[in-house]
Amino acid sequence: MTARVRWPRGRRSATLRTAVPLVTLVLASTACGEPALHVGSKDSRPSATGQSATTPRTATPRTLSPGPDLSSATGEAPSVTSAAPAATTTTCTDRYFNGMTTAQRVGQLFMGGVSAARPDQAQLRTLRAYHVGSIMLTGRSTAGVAATRKVVDAIRSQADQVAGRRVGMLVSTDQEGGRVQVLSGPGFSTMPSGLTQGSWSTTTLRARAADWAKQLKAAGLNVNLAPVADVVPASLGTRNRPIGFFNREFGHTADVVSSHSNAFAAGFAQSGVLTTIKHFPGLGQVIGNTDTTANVVDSVTTANSSSITPFRNGIRAGSPFVMVSLATYKKIDSKHLAAFSPTVINQMLRTQLGFKGVVISDDLGNAVAVRSFTPAQRAVNFVSAGGDMILTVNPSTVPAMAQAVQARMQQDASFRAKVNASVHRVLDAKYKAGLLTCS
């Protein structure tokens, strides 16, 4: 059963703190590379074509059953290892967190893929059963804004509840431009490639990005898994399969990529859509595409390379999400994929760059880069390394992943504390996006 909590009176501030040059409302990730062409994947095939709305109207929400919960025989929220710094007052996100069962908390760590054109009802049932708190629209849809809004509203209407309060969903997609634009059709602009966007002034890009964000928001989405912050050297160009081959980069120098990724994110923030800078610590120096290739290695990038600059500046500007790649970085941590590396996530991203927001993985569902790991290992390794949100475009992997996380929580107090801290970060992002209500 869902635990009930008391909700103190008081108004929730809807004001979002701004930062220069980026208004603080930015979120992270797209598949790290060449779009897979099968149904249910992050299909980034070339698209045929390359008004800010109010909060979506949804059907009366229903409270979902707690679903599988391996840490409590009753399904009630267990005693919790402290996950956040002690505070003198209980925050809105604390109240949601405290009212959740363990299964509901673990569900907040997942972003599951759903076909943008034809959502699979069996997959949606799986996501609901495991309380998955965020959704990614995948594949390709030419249905346009109005039709997409109906799809999103239907999904949101079945979001989890805590004490009668809906836990709002983050709904995302890959809307970079060029050959990576999931949503098109009536109401959506044809977005040019990253290289073309990089040739514009930052003022122009920010204005255009604000318009693109309004279109996503009108369709019911609140997260874009963009911008790409990877720096592809001109000498490598299209031989770089995940980024350069598709002209996804804003340019070939850290300065150009930094200024234009920030402008893109600032435009989306201006229109109230979160963005994600990706793919940390950069896919610009690799040849292979982690979506379609195993053992992709970067032998160039170090913790102090200039290609880290766009990520550093994006974080300083207020990005709430950073997506971590599935490549291995020999000069940073040669023993782990970046998404499974404490050195990459905790030492570089958290400590060196001071990132306080949500760390999201690149696809841990269908990517060839992680096929040598079971779904359970992928989820546990990512969280153990310090990651917060597990992106899987394949919902069938969610049960094994969620069960493994809960099982490890029972066995390991340190791991349990990491999970609790990650859930708080995800809920904080939702609160800042206006998806939690405590008034």
pLDDT tens string 238-297: 999 999 999 999 999 999 999 999 999 999 999 999 999 999 999 999 999 999 999 999
Comparing 276 with 84, the larger pLDDT belongs to 276
Question: If you average pLDDT over residues 67-74, what whole number do you get?
Answer: 35
pLDDT confidence of residue 428: 96
- Rounding to the nearest 10 degrees, give the CA dihedral for residues 274, 279, 281, 282: -130
Answer yes or no: is 396 within a domain: yes
pLDDT confidence of residue 55: 37
The Cα–Cα gap between 203 and 268 comes to 13
pLDDT confidence of residue 373: 98
The Cα–Cα gap between 267 and 269 comes to 5
Answer yes or no: is 8 within a domain: no
Number of domains present in the structure of the chain: 1
- Read off the tokens for 110: 């997942």
- The fraction of the chain above a pLDDT of 70, given in percent, is 80
The overall pTM is greater than 0.75: yes
Answer yes or no: is 282 within a domain: yes
Answer yes or no: is 121 within a domain: yes
Strand order of the β-sheet with 321-324 is 277-280, 321-324, 358-361
Strand order of the β-sheet with 333-337 is 297-298, 328-329, 333-337
CB 275 within 8 A of CB 310: no
pLDDT tens string 157-196: 999 999 899 999 999 999 999 999 999 999 999 999 999 9
pLDDT tens string 198-224: 999 999 999 999 999 999 999 999 999
CATH of the domain at 288: 3.20.20.300
Q: Which domain holds residue 352?
A: 101-432
Answer yes or no: is 420 within a domain: yes
Answer yes or no: is 53 within a domain: no
Answer yes or no: is 90 within a domain: no
The Cα–Cα gap between 359 and 39 comes to 26
**SS3 assignment, position 305:** coil
pLDDT confidence of residue 77: 37
